[in-house]
Homo-oligomer: A and B are copies of this chain.
Amino acid sequence: MVEHSGLDIMCPNKYCHSSVSSSSSERDKRMFTRIRLSLSADYPKKNAEILSGQYGTNLLLIGSALMLAIANHGPAVREEHLLSFLCGLMALQLAWMMWYILVRDRHESAHTEKDKHATTCWIRGGLTLLALLSLVMDAFRIGYYVGYHLCVSAVLGVYPVLHAAHTIAQVHFLWFHIKDVIKSFETFERFGVMHAVFTNLLLWCSGVMSEAEHFLKNHVRRVSVENQGNYSTEYSEPSCNCSTSTCSLFANSLFYLYPFNIEYHIFVSAMLFVMWKNIGRTLELHSTRRRPIPVSRALSLGPVLGLLALASTITVLVVYLTHVEQSMETRQAAVSMFYMYGIVMLLSMCSAAAVGLLIYRAQHCPFDTSKNPSRELDTQLLVGSSVGSWLMAWCSVASVVSSSSSAPHRWTNGLYSLLMVLEKYVQNLFIIESLYRQEEQELPASPEVFSVTSSLAPPYGGIINRAYETQERGVEEGEDSAVVYGRKPSQVPLSVGTNLPPPPRLKRKLLKNIALFLTMCNICLWILPAFGCRPQYDNGLEEETFGFEIWTTVLNFAVPLNLFYRMHAVASLFEVFRRV
């Protein structure tokens, strides 16, 4: 929108300039130009946004309707229908990506602007890794299809092939085009990018649904085996025998690869959304130099504690998965162990993030208010995806308080849930403040500012703080500040303020350690639910208060959101680690 008003400001000049001469023949010519222009003129940007946004939303809803029908296990709508729909969407996206790449390559002479904030090398690297695992999954699916090809629909064979092609093309697109700021065929490209966003979102939904169904199936089987009841499957199994010997291997391995495939699609979809937001944008010019990552000799406590957390997480995962399948007592012990572990983890994460916030409070700094769609989206996604586990946590608290059960893990569950709420609350604040604080290199070094600023104190708080904040950093950051204010660093007087706690070097060391520790903790808390450690299914407390139906629905909504939150927090915290 900014660029639009920029043009508007230019308008009066043109207008004044032109209001001098006019004759009747000129008038006719103008009339013609005007009609031609009003027909070919660009479609308004806001309208194009709404048009393509509504298109994408409807794609998602069609897919959701199909999934809901499948969830009913009725005869009318089967999985093949959904897969065919997804194949159609992927084929369309492939066609659009090819078109886009061809057009760009042809007009390569015209330089395409790039939004440097859109993504970083290491995010793309991580996505490539996830994509590779998705390709392995496609290979397993093809193998499964070959084994059962006599009695299953051909769509089950076409889908993985198309998905593999889609994945390869999309990774190429991510590496070479995701930062593009599109300025031609804007309305058409908006549809293309939106289509890609929602195709990935639907692939995510479909992955989440398969995963949840698999998990639920396991859970129901386990409970019915325990109750010596009959286990009647409602879930479709192929009606013929496998013609190769590897079918069950493929089918079982698939579910260990699902988490990676799911994360891959949701991440790509977020990045494409940033690309969509960038269409037609006018980039502001900044001093683009980035500070190189300093060799961090200071990384001591953070990674050590993080590795400790990782090791204990893997232990907990293995113990939990082996114990929960056994008798009632061992299961209860496993659940109790999980909650104790969780409380320790969450407590240390809360303290780490709180220390980070306190460090920020001790050293004020203005917030960077420049336009950056990628960062805005990050913020919204963090808070938005917290909702899932917050709902889960409050449901647990409600049932802990109202229940009369004497389960040993009743109160640890309640404490764990409250800490879960608190941890996300504090961690979101920490991440968002870290991302929005101005990078300190852009600030001027000014120890002489006090006599003025203290008299201006009440109305100009922002200025004062910035001046205070940066003076200690004058020595090391003076070079960069020259870019902003056009002063040579040698002109900047140094000294003053060395006795203020905490000094910036220590501060940065601390923040780096905190960010790294939180990153590793979030990886831990992603691993546990992603690989099947979900005590919410096994503790029985919430199921009693909410009933099986409602509680399963809550979990099917909350668990995928929570997984996404953890992954997203890992990416954001790593970004924080690099910035501070």
In the complex, are the beta carbons of B66 and A30 less than 8 A apart?
no
Q: Is the CB of A37 within 8 A of B72?
A: no
Q: A31 in the interface, Cβ–Cβ < 8 Å? A: yes
B-contact 0/1 string along A540-580, CB 8 Å cutoff: 00001111011001100000000000000000000000000
How far apart are the CA atoms of A432 and B49 in the complex, in Å? Answer: 11
B37→A468 contact, CB < 8 A: yes
B10 touches A391 (CB 8 A): no
Report if A21 contacts B (CB, 8 A).
yes
Which of A117-125, A304-312, A363-371, A516-524 binds B?
A363-371
Looking across the interface, which residue of chain B has its beta carbon closest to that of A465? B41
Q: How does the 8 Å CB contact mask read for A392-409 relative to B, with 1 for contact and 0 for none?
A: 001101110011100000
Closest to A44 in B: B367
Q: Is the CB of A14 within 8 A of B463?
A: yes
| Cβ-based interface call for A174 (8 A) | no
Chain B residues within 8 Å of A460, by CB:
7, 10, 14
Contact B10 A463 (CB under 8 A): yes
Chain A, interface size category, equals: 35 or more
Q: Nearest B residue to A7 by beta-carbon distance?
A: B462
Complex contact B47–A429 (CB within 8 A): yes
Say what secondary structure dominates the interface of chain A: helix
A33: chain B residues within 8 A (beta carbon): 450, 454, 457
Pick the contact of A433 from B44, B366, B456, B500 — CB < 8 Å? B44
| Per-residue B-contact encoding for A308-326, CB less than 8 Å = 1, 0 else | 0000000000000000000
Given A41-B465, A446-B19, A468-B34, the answer on whether A432 and B47 have CB atoms closer than 8 Å is: yes
User: Given A64-B394, A395-B68, A449-B18 in contact, is the A8-B54 Cβ separation under 8 Å?
Assistant: no
Residues of B contacting A4 in the complex (Cβ-Cβ under 8 angstroms) = 366-367, 369, 462
Given contacts A27-B496, A76-B545, contact A61 B387 (CB under 8 A): yes
- Are B398 and A65 neighbours in the complex by a CB distance under 8 Å? yes
Q: Is A493 an interface residue (CB 8 A)?
A: yes
Known: A44-B433, A432-B50, A461-B42. A8 touches B72 (CB 8 A): no
Q: List A325-383 residues whose CB lies under 8 Å from chain B.
A: 362-364, 366-367, 369-370, 379, 383
What is the bound-complex CA distance between A364 and B554, given in angstroms?
Answer: 48
Q: A107 at the A/B interface (Cβ < 8 Å)?
A: no
Cα of A467 to Cα of B468 in the assembled complex, Å:
49
Judge whether B383 and A54 touch: CB under 8 Å.
yes
Q: Which of B18, B66, B370, B395 contacts A451 (CB 8 A)?
A: B18
Is A436 part of the contact surface with B, judged by Cβ < 8 Å?
yes
Q: How far is the CB of A383 from chain B (nearest CB, A)?
A: 7
The answer to whether B369 touches A450 (Cβ under 8 A) is no
| Complex: A20 Cα to B451 Cα, angstroms | 10
Judge if A1 is at the interface, Cβ distance under 8 Å.
yes
- Say whether, besides A553-B553, A554-B68, A77 and B398 are in contact (CB < 8 Å): yes
Bound Cα distance from A7 to B463, whole angstroms: 7
Q: Is A46 an interface residue (CB 8 A)?
A: yes
Give the CA-CA distance A544 to B5 in the complex, in Å. 54
A50-B383, A460-B7 known; A58 and B390 CB under 8 Å? yes
A282 vs B155: C-alpha distance when bound (angstroms): 58
Find out whether the CB atom of B54 lies under 8 angstroms from the CB atom of A12: no
In the assembled complex, A419 has its CB within 8 A of some CB on chain B: no
New contact pairs (17) apart from A38-B465, A50-B379, CB-CB < 8 Å: A7-B366, A8-B466, A15-B446, A19-B449, A21-B451, A37-B457, A37-B461, A41-B461, A47-B432, A50-B429, A64-B391, A68-B550, A71-B550, A72-B550, A76-B402, A77-B545, A553-B553
A→B interface (CB under 8 Å): 1-2, 4-5, 7-8, 10-12, 14-15, 17-22, 26-27, 29-31, 33-35, 37-38, 41-42, 44-47, 50-51, 53-54, 57-58, 61-62, 64-66, 68-69, 71-72, 74, 76-77, 81, 362-364, 366-367, 369-370, 379, 383, 386-387, 390-391, 394-395, 397-399, 402-404, 421, 425, 428-429, 432-433, 436, 444, 446-454, 456-457, 460-468, 485, 493, 496-497, 500, 544-547, 549-550, 553-554
